[in-house]
Amino acid sequence: MVVMVMEKVSESLRGELTRYMLELKAGVFVGQLNAKVTELLWKKVSDEIKEGNAILVRSDNSEQGYSIKVVGESKRSIEDYDGISLIKTYSNSFS
C-alpha cells in the first residue's frame, strides 16, 4: 500500500498521480503500486514540488511495517528513534 499526501502542488501534478492512484481528498492519494512505479512517481513529485511539500508512506519490512519519506518545506520532519519513525512538528509560536 502506498499513501501520498501533498500540499501546495500544481493541479497537473495531482492529475498525473490520479493515473496511478485514487485521490481520496484534495492532495491525498492511495494505491497499490509496485516499488518501481512508486519510486518513479516519488521522483516526479520531488522534481516538481516547488514551494509545496509531500509525504510518502509505503509498506515496508521494518518494525513499524511502513517507511516514510518527506520532500519540500513543512512544519513536520521525520525523526528516527532506534528504528522507529516519529513525526516532529514545529510551531511558529513559543507560548
Residue 8 within any structural domain of the chain: yes
pLDDT tens track, the chain, 95 positions: 999 999 999 999 999 999 999 999 999 999 999 999 999 999 999 999 988 999 999 999 888 899 999 998 878 888 888 888 888 887 765 54
Give residue 44's domain range.
2-89
Residue 47 within any structural domain of the chain: yes
Residue 82 within any structural domain of the chain: yes
What residues form DSSP beta bridges with 76? 89
Total domains, the chain: 1
Going by C-alpha positions, the residue among 70, 40, 66, 34 that lies closest to residue 55 is: 70
Q: What is the CATH number of the domain that holds 54?
A: 3.30.70.240
Question: 42 — phi, psi (to 5°)?
Answer: -65, -40
Residue 79 within any structural domain of the chain: yes
Going by C-alpha positions, the residue among 74, 69, 75, 78 that lies closest to residue 41 is: 69
